[in-house]
Amino acid sequence: MDDMDAGLMPASPPMEKRQIKSKERVSKHGEVFTAEREVNAMLDLVRQETERIESRFLEPACGDGNFLIEILRRKLAVCEERVRRKQFTQLQYEKHAVWAVSSIYGIELLPDNAEACRQRLYRYFCEQYERLFGKQSKPACRRAVSYLLERNIIMGDALTYRRVDNPDEWIVVSEWSFIGDGKVVRRDYSFSYLVATGQGNDLFSDTPCDTFPPVYFLDLGQRNN
């Protein structure tokens, strides 16, 4: 996904208020969005994990991102607090904020919801990043986030394990491991294999189907790693 700066929407609240888009969508897809109060109540049950930058979350029916936007908000708030305490430089913020985005995954059956979710998360990231650093914010950082969201928010059916945009393809989920001085290793896993045979608490506890060379985190959006 290309840098979406040109399509950046006006500032938005952290959570959408509506729960139903249309009666037809409810009837056809059972689509009802979780309200902000319930989202926060559920996430508060695992508050420590939502505030741990590297903790991974997968929402198998993510809609337009009510859960994911709140998780991102909490993670970025931790990064911002470390900047304000002078524990993070701008570069350290960028690394950890990109890391936070890389830890958030969504699978969504309806293409318009999947794209709305990507745009919403991207827009929120840009709002917070540019509010903190203004003209010093880097296009490369925004491109990295855009690329991660393109890979991590997937148009697919979590019940059949297949992509919606190409039903002949299995859903593939990418693990992003930060190593050394800001380098990232991508490993791809078949979602069907993870669900069927995954062991332990780690989503990525099995053998990957593909592994890619390390890339500096600010270069993620510039190459198809």
Domain chopping of the chain, boundaries = 5-159
Specify whether the CB–CB gap between 214 and 179 falls below 8 A. yes
Helix, strand, coil percentages, rounded to 5, for the chain: 50, 15, 35
| pLDDT above 80 for 128 | yes
Residues with Cβ within 8 Å of residue 184, at least 6 apart in sequence: 102, 176, 177, 178, 214, 215, 216, 217, 220, 225
Write phi, then psi, for 106 (nearest 5 degrees): -145, 140
Name the helix (H) or strand (E) containing 149. Answer: helix 139-152
Q: Give the pLDDT confidence score for residue 190 in this predicted structure.
A: 87
Segment 17-74, tens digit of pLDDT: 554 454 554 444 444 446 677 777 888 898 899 999 999 999 999 988 989 999 999 9
